[in-house]
Chains A and B, each alone.
Chain A
Amino acid sequence: MKKVKVFITLKESVLDPQGQAVMQSLHNMDYKNVQDVRIGKYIELQLDDSANVAEEVDTICDKLLANTVIENYRYEIEEEVHS
């Protein structure tokens, strides 16, 4: 079993209104050193072992998890250890 951690972020060229609102709040809280805030998504998948997990995850991200018009994704594949 593989555990896949998928991180989805807005592309640099895309304005993030949520991130801007959070940054404003941080500035109001006196965290003046915060220069930028970008909000993304974190998704965990569990997959049965197969030879081409990475290939499969790429397809899953391209097709459904991310909208590549506005988002980038990256992921980490870990061995799932059962206790």
Chain B
Amino acid sequence: MKTAVIVFPGSNCDQDMYYAIKDGLGEEVDYVWHAETSLDGYDAVMIPGGFSYGDYLRSGAIARFAGIMPAVVKAAQEGKPVLGVCNGFQILLESGLLPGAMLKNKNLKFICESVNLQVKNNQTQFSSLYDQNEVIRIPIAHGEGNYYCDDATLQELEDQNRIVFTYSGENPNGSRADIAGIINETGNVLGMMPHPERAADALLGSDDGLRLFQSILKHWRESTHAAYTS
């Protein structure tokens, strides 16, 4: 599985993401600069955390119009796995690949701590190696992770089982329905505020995040194997 990690000016979790895939998964991975226009040849796309374009105007608002974004949208439409973490999630929201928007954390503080997440849907290509309702420990680091959507959108997310992760116990940022991560309708685009790439090695305090990347790889292997044998 060949993975692209998109790098914007101001991305700061790109190297964590790179090493989670290279060392954690043992798979091929490249950095792809935001000014590139093609993601042909990549099987998966990661949009890392950080402060793209200084978070000017709104988090993700300017990154959403970067040269690489039409290729990200194309990859999503082709059914390739697209993962946006933290600022990456904000960019996916701004680009319309996922519904809703981010508000400032309810307590107005930048929160950097490990939190407990509950796996609400383990039937996705990003979460298949977790148990349903399993509680995992993953760090968050954001000032604007207070997920907002209107009632109709929340109903749709719930009805279609598209809330993949929720905060377990105390909700750190005030997000609607304790949402920490959601998936698109076709199940191949996941946005989440917590950082699985920062929990991909026991040396970092938790390796609960590694199974997310392993789930993506497992799905990719199964789907390419199916393609070869069909």
Chain B residue numbers with a CB within 8 Å of A14 are 103, 148
A70 at the interface (CB under 8 A from B): yes
Contacts of A26 in B (CB 8 A): none
A40 touches B (CB below 8 Å): no
Could you say which of A18, A21, A67 has the most chain B C-beta atoms within 10 Å of its C-beta?
A67
In A17-52, the 8 Å CB interface with B consists of: 17-18, 21
The one of B57, B103, B108 in contact with A70, judged by C-beta atoms closer than 8 angstroms, is B103
Q: Does A69 sit at the interface, judged by CB under 8 A?
A: yes
Cross-interface CB contact of A69 among B104, B146, B148, cutoff 8 Å: B148
A43 to B75, CA, bound (A): 34
- The chain A residue sitting closest to B149, CB to CB, is A69
Q: In the complex the two chains form, is A17's CB within 8 Å of B150's CB?
A: no
**A67–B57 CA distance with the chains assembled, in angstroms:** 10
Q: Is B58 in contact with chain A by the CB < 8 A criterion?
A: yes
How far, in whole Å, are A67 and B94 apart by their CA atoms in the complex? 8
* B104 touching A17, Cβ below 8 Å: yes
B132 interface contact, C-beta 8 A: no
How many contacts A-B (CB < 8 Å)? Answer: 36
Nearest Cβ on chain B to A66's Cβ, whole angstroms: 9
A64 to B62, CA, bound (A): 8
Chain A residue with the shortest CB-CB distance to B64: A64
**B31 contacts the other chain (CB 8 A):** no
Q: Are B100 and A69 in contact (CB under 8 A)?
A: yes
Residues in A with CB closer than 8 Å to B150 are 13, 69
Interchain CB contact under 8 A, B108 and A17: yes
Contact between B105 and A67, CB atoms less than 8 A apart: no
Task: Decide if B164 is an interface residue (CB 8 Å cutoff).
Answer: no
- The answer to whether B103 touches A15, judged by C-beta atoms less than 8 angstroms apart, is yes
Do A67 and B106 form a contact, CB below 8 Å, given A13-B150, A14-B148, A17-B174? no
Establish whether residues B108 and A18, one from each chain, have CB atoms under 8 Å apart when the complex forms.
Answer: yes
A-B residue pairs, 10 tightest by C-beta: A69-B101, A70-B101, A67-B101, A17-B104, A17-B108, A17-B106, A21-B108, A67-B58, A70-B148, A18-B104
